[in-house]
Amino acid sequence: MKKEILKIENISKRFTLKSRLYEKKATLTAVDDLTITLYEGETFGLVGESGCGKSTLAKLILRLIEPTSGNITYNGKDILTLGKKDMRSIRKDIQIIFQDPQASLNPRMTIGRAVSEGVSIHNSSIKTKTDLLAKTRELLKLVGLHPESLNMYPHEFSGGQRQRVGIARALSVEPRVIIADEPVSALDVSIQAQILNLLKELQEKFGLTYLFISHDLRVVEYLSDRVGVMYLGKMMELASSDDLYRQPRHPYSRALLSSVPSLTPGQKRKRIILKGDVPNPINPPNGCIFHTRCEFAKDECKETVPTLREVNDGHFSACLFSEELFGCN
Amino acid sequence: MDNILEVKNLKTYFNLTAGVARAVDDVSFAIKKGGSFGLVGESGCGKSVTALSMLRLIQPPGEIAGGEILFDGKNTLGMADEEMRLLRGDKMSMIFQEPMTSLNPVFNVGYQLTESMILHLGLNKKEARDRAIEMLTLVGIPAPERRVDDYPNQLSGGMRQRVMIAMALSCNPALLIADEPTTALDVTIEGQILELINDLKEKLGMAMLLITHDLGIIAENVDDVAVMYAGKIIEYSSVDNVLSCPKHPYTIGLLQSLPSLNSSDKKKKERLSTIKGVVPHLLNLPDGCRFKNRCSLRSAVCDEPPPYKNVGDNHFARCHKV
């Protein structure tokens, strides 16, 4: 039986925007009524274009920003009601890796200090400096860096190596869940593969649960067990990675998947080119938020807001005409 | 003359206090009239410096240390500054990666679009404005009569890139250089922009140099391709040859390190094959083959500079082992 580890229920985040004098205050719904359950040891991939609310969700889980409504439970514990101190111990269990390792490491701190900082705060079994040093060396080795590089500064490393430091830093407090927010997007292909392998290795070793956020569909498929597709703050489709990639059941996911270039030259794929831009989230369309760009949009789509519903075993889609368009099986 | 552009033994060096960085080192390629050519490689391999050299936009401490760039048979490196200025933005124009930083935020779209038309085509303000609106229509911007007065911050990323394309095409160039034109854009917008560039290329009969790090984009948009690594072209052929039967270990490694789409369960369990190590620093290149420290086929012979071998069917690879 799969064990639930992190449960996100009906979470929403609305930002009120600064308004000019005499102007009505505008609200931006960054995350709209999202529900995701993470099971222990799995990788949940979250894909979507920029501005769809992926990173806002990551911040909500860590309570770096507070949600407008909804619940988040970690191991059965409601974390939204926790005080600062209790939340600290939860943050030890849920760690994050950021996209840009250059911006997320302090340039004036040696990587040894950056990695050992969390250990000295959260790990009570490590008391002496020698222990701390040994632990830091061990962590650096774990992520494939030279253990003696701990006196070096971030600028002395390449992008891929800096991302390894970011991973070592996240691992330093022995987390259960790691939120990886576009961890390989800033890296070159040959380095990207190294980091993806490292993430997989660490997951097997420590039984980690990943929430893997990316806009790169190839990478998400490679790493994820289940995948959710977001658009303008909403979940459009959620399914096992196999089902989603083999038979997407939402027009948006289909268009996204068709936009991944094939590597076989000459083989012109049938690319579904979406019209127009992503709508302004301050003023989203009525009805189905995707109807302005959908090739199948009907009158009903302009009025009825579709809910995310199970259209096949474990396969959820937020399209009114999912069965009609993409079959039952 | 069937080549619009020929680059011969181009060398662009940066003279830094720590030494000379050979960012582009003896690079040669040719682009056919109306053809499309791709330069692919990872960051720092010299793709963009090659493009900037073609437009002679290299600033000190960088300099073009040698070679020839023949545009329509004429060596641009020998041209006077004024002559080059007339060519740039007219017959040879460029689209940059980041449309926000390459548009001037304090001038409206119309001003920026008409600037080069007034200079190169000799139009007056009114004519140039009409042509600007026509160009915006061509690149698919809705309500161009209104948009022409917008400032860059009022446009979305995809629209800004369309404006950049309109600007690059406004003087009917014979060669368009597109440096990572879609890297800053979302995938659904990337599709729109590439389709637009290809349509216009066909319609206007211009040639294109497409620079990217994305092998998928190369596969779909160019005829010939050169793979660059640490300042050198390491493989060169038609896109079919390079992607279907790559010869250089670096190209092979790059293709294998991409996760494939719709892979089977078994494949997902496996590790991705990687290229070990990192790209060498340009100031500290290894002797002989520049890829040898990361190469699985390395042997003693790799300490000698590798020959640029013709492996048949107009397919070249710079490796001892092919």
Q: Report yes or no: A227 and A241 within 8 Å, Cβ to Cβ.
A: yes
Question: Which residues in chain B (180-199) have CB-CB distances under 8 A to chain A?
Answer: 186-192, 195
| Tens digits of residue pLDDT in A89-124 | 888 999 999 887 778 889 999 999 999 988 888 877
Question: Per DSSP, which regions of B117-184 are E strands?
Answer: 175-179
How far are the Cα atoms of A134, A235, A321, A326 from residue A273, in angstroms, in the given order? 54, 21, 20, 18
Query: So what's the pLDDT on residue A160?
Result: 85
Q: Does A261 touch chain B (CB under 8 A)?
A: yes
CA nearest to B245, candidates B179, B148, B194, B311: B311
Q: Does A212 touch chain B (CB under 8 A)?
A: no
Rounded Cα distance between A119 and A173, Å, is: 6
List the A43-47 sheet strands across, edge first: A94-97, A177-181, A209-214, A43-47, A226-231, A234-240, A315-317, A309-312
Please say if the pLDDT value at position B107 is more than 90: yes
CB contact under 8 A, A263 and B243: yes
Distance from CA of A13 to the nearest CA of B (A): 23
Q: Report yes or no: B21 and A168 within 8 Å, Cβ to Cβ.
A: no
What residues in A contact B156, CB-CB < 8 Å? 277-278
Q: Does A225 touch chain B (CB under 8 A)?
A: no
CB contact under 8 A, B191 and A273: yes
- Selecting from A215, A242, A273 the residue whose C-beta is nearest the C-beta of B195 gives A273
Instruction: Give Cβ neighbours of residue B191 (< 8 Å, ≥ 6 apart).
Output: A259, A271, A273, A274
Rounded Cα distance between A88 and B254, Å, is: 42
The mean pLDDT value for B247-263 works out to 87
Predicted TM-score (pTM) of the model is 0.85
Please say if the pLDDT value at position B268 is more than 70: no
Residue B252 is encoded by which pair of tokens?
A: 């092979």
Please say if the pLDDT value at position B260 is more than 90: no
The mean pLDDT value for B5-33 works out to 93
Q: Does A262 touch chain B (CB under 8 A)?
A: yes
Q: Does B15 touch chain A (CB under 8 A)?
A: no
Three-state SS at B225:
strand
Phi, psi of A162 (to 5 degrees): -65, -35
Q: For strand A226-231 and strand A309-312, is the pairing parallel, antiparallel, or unpaired?
A: unpaired
Q: Does A204 touch chain B (CB under 8 A)?
A: no
Bridge-partner residues for A13, per DSSP?
Answer: A31
Rounded Cα distance between A85 and A138, Å, is: 28
Residue of B nearest to A245 (CA): B262
The mean pLDDT value for B263-279 works out to 75
CATH of domain A4-106+177-190+208-326: 3.40.50.300
Q: Does A100 touch chain B (CB under 8 A)?
A: no
Instruction: Give Cβ neighbours of residue B116 (< 8 Å, ≥ 6 apart).
Output: B89, B90, B167, B170, B171
Distance from CA of A113 to the nearest CA of B (A): 24
When the pLDDT of each residue in chain B is averaged and rounded to a whole number, the result is 89
List the B316-318 sheet strands across, edge first: B92-95, B175-179, B207-212, B36-40, B224-229, B232-238, B316-318, B308-310
Query: So what's the pLDDT on residue B263?
Result: 64
Complex ipTM:
0.78
> Locate tokens 């500079």: which residue?
B305
Domain range list for chain A: 4-106+177-190+208-326
CA nearest to B140, candidates B169, B105, B116, B112: B169
CB contact under 8 A, B263 and A222: yes
Please say if the pLDDT value at position B266 is more than 70: no
**How far, in whole angstroms, is CA A214 from its chain's centroid?**
6
- Selecting from B186, B261, B274 the residue whose C-beta is nearest the C-beta of A194 gives B274
Distance from CA of A69 to the nearest CA of B (A): 29
Query: So what's the pLDDT on residue A229?
Result: 96
Task: Report DSSP letters for A53-114, one per residue.
Answer: SHHHHHHHHTTSS--SEEEEEETTEEGGG--HHHHHHHHHHEEEE-S-HHHHS-TTS-HHHH
CB contact under 8 A, B42 and A189: yes
CB contact under 8 A, B253 and A266: no
Q: Report yes or no: B201 and B223 within 8 Å, Cβ to Cβ.
A: no
The residues of chain A scoring below 50 in pLDDT are: none
CB contact under 8 A, B259 and A268: no
| Tens digits of residue pLDDT in B167-187 | 998 888 999 999 988 887 788
Please say if the pLDDT value at position B261 is more than 80: no
Confidence of residue B116 (pLDDT cuts 50, 70, 90): confident
Q: Does B260 touch chain A (CB under 8 A)?
A: yes
Query: So what's the pLDDT on residue A120?
Result: 86
Residue A194 is encoded by which pair of tokens?
A: 């190294």
* Greatest distance between any 2 Cα atoms in chain B: 68
Residue of A nearest to B184 (CA): A50
In our burial notation (b when 16+ CB lie closer than 10 A, e otherwise), range A97-110 reads bbbbbbebbeeeeb
The mean pLDDT value for B142-157 works out to 88
Rounded Cα distance between B21 and A76, Å, is: 57
CB contact under 8 A, B220 and A160: no
- Selecting from B187, B189, B239 the residue whose C-beta is nearest the C-beta of A277 gives B189
Please say if the pLDDT value at position B267 is more than 70: no
What residues in A contact B274, CB-CB < 8 Å? 190, 193-194, 197
Residue of A nearest to B245 (CA): A264
Q: Does A283 touch chain B (CB under 8 A)?
A: no
Measure CA of the first residue to CA of the last residue in chain A; give whole Å.
25
Query: So what's the pLDDT on residue B18?
Result: 87
Query: So what's the pLDDT on residue A181?
Result: 92
CB atoms within 10 A of CB B274: 20
Rounded Cα distance between B81 and B206, Å, is: 24
Query: So what's the pLDDT on residue B222?
Result: 92
In our burial notation (b when 16+ CB lie closer than 10 A, e otherwise), range A312-324 reads beebbbbbbbbee
Please say if the pLDDT value at position B43 is more than 90: no
Q: Report yes or no: A132 and A120 within 8 Å, Cβ to Cβ.
A: yes
Please say if the pLDDT value at position B1 is more than 70: no
CB contact under 8 A, B262 and A218: no
Query: So what's the pLDDT on residue B65?
Result: 92
